[in-house]
Structure 1
Amino acid sequence: MNTPLRLLSTALTLSVSMLVAMPAAAHQPDPVRQAERAGRWLQLDPQQVEQLAHFFTDVRLQRVSRRSDLRDQLLAVLTPEQRIRWQELRGQGPRWQDVDMGLEERLSWWQSALDLSQSQLAQIRQQLQQARSQAQQTRAQRRAELEAIVGTDKAQRIAEWADRRRR
């Protein structure tokens, strides 16, 4: 194989492997671009667009932080063997990340997949319920912040757009 073709092949292989290794967060839309798009769509002034970009950035950072904190709390309940199994299951994809799964269904699946004791199950249930409660409070606060930036009607349109996007 000649040198330029070998270099191209190596570069392509490296590029593909880097794309596969990228975390899912890297594929999410840029908050600034989201704010600019929303600004055009909702006819916001430049100050509102800037505030919206900060808002979207804060929301994303707090979401990542909450998920990381919850993951750390859940892992603290598990034995070393269960943590290894947890990591294996996370890599398996869809069933692990099934967003339509209710709390009790998810706990039942985790209990069988990780061989959780009743004590572990109770601790994890409590942690997940607390996280859900905090998320509801955060959503209400974020909704009020969004309304302060763009107004009630436009905040409602953004919420509807986000709901459609999640489905």
Structure 2
Amino acid sequence: MIGKIHLSSSKHHCFILVATDYFTKWVEAKPYKSIDQNKVISFIEDLIHRFSIRQTITVNNGIVFEGGLVRTFAEVLWAYRTSKRSSTGVTPFALLYGHNVVFPVEINIKSLRVKAQDYFDKKQYGQSICMELEDIDEARMLAINKMLIQKRKAARCYNKRVHH
């Protein structure tokens, strides 16, 4: 939980509940005017209904921020979810949904990726989505391997400094 934010938003939100999936780095966040146990439970239940039951839920009290609330809260989350993470080499969006996001600008200018989909009939489009979902496990395994390699490198670097 992020709160209490002393300079609340124009809608008087001064608390933010935040959840991050440890593996995909997907972030969910919701602002509140006030917070109580029922709102926290509802927030977690919503996550469970949308993303299934996680192996663990880690909870902490968060950090209390002094200062203004980000006005473009949804845009910040969108930017985070659609930006590659150095730890995995892919976006949280791709790890969650199995493909890269199609940005609105790509639809407006009819990018090559969008044009290619225009020629799909329902069956081809469905097959394309299924193929992406079949490949998601492989993409997730590659992301895990990349994270493990980075952790080993960080450990070696740390151990060199500690042991010398």
Q: TM-score, normalised by structure 2?
A: 0.24
Q: TM-score, normalised by structure 1?
A: 0.24
Whichever structure has more helix as a proportion of its residues is 1
Larger radius of gyration: 1
